[in-house]
Amino acid sequence: GAGVSQSPRYKVAKRGQDVALRCDPISGHVSLFWYQQALGQGPEFLTYFQNEAQLDKSGLPSDRFFAERPEGSVSTLKIQRTQQEDSAVYLCASSPRTGQGAGEQFFGPGTRLTVL
């Protein structure tokens, strides 16, 4: 069956460029998470959507990071004026339910962003 997909898989950007990373969650999944994984580290939470509502954006590192999920399915993470410290793998995860009973999160393959 179709899992979580992300595109592009790899992105190279020059410092100062804007980038947009796409996530297609599993169909029907209510919850969608974005995580950032720096080299050699575990993933760190960025933001959470329940359907189209962004309920938690406490992990976004700066106002250059923006995420949306306008129709409650596909989500886009946008990074404006990229900096070298933004280089990381960006992981998207979805879950069929919400709250503590949300069960496991299903992860996509990630987008590896390199900022030169």
Partner 1 sequence: AQKITQTQPGMFVQEKEAVTLDCTYDTSDPSYGLFWYKQPSSGEMIFLIYQGSYDQQNATEGRYSLNFQKARKSANLVISASQLGDSAMYFCAMREASGAGSYQLTFGKGTKLSVIP
What residue ranges bind partner 1 (CB under 8 A)?
33, 35, 40-45, 48, 55-56, 58-59, 89, 91, 93, 98-100, 102-110, 112
CB of 81 to partner 1, least distance (A): 26
Cis peptide before 43 (omega within 30 of 0): no
Residue closer to partner 1 by CB (options 64, 112) is: 112
Distance CA(94)–CA(74), nearest Å, equals 11
Residue closer to partner 1 by CB (options 61, 103) is: 103
CB of 83 to partner 1, least distance (A): 22
102 burial via Cβ count (<10 Å: 0-12, 13-18, 19+): middle
Dig out the tokens for 112 from the structure: 């590896």
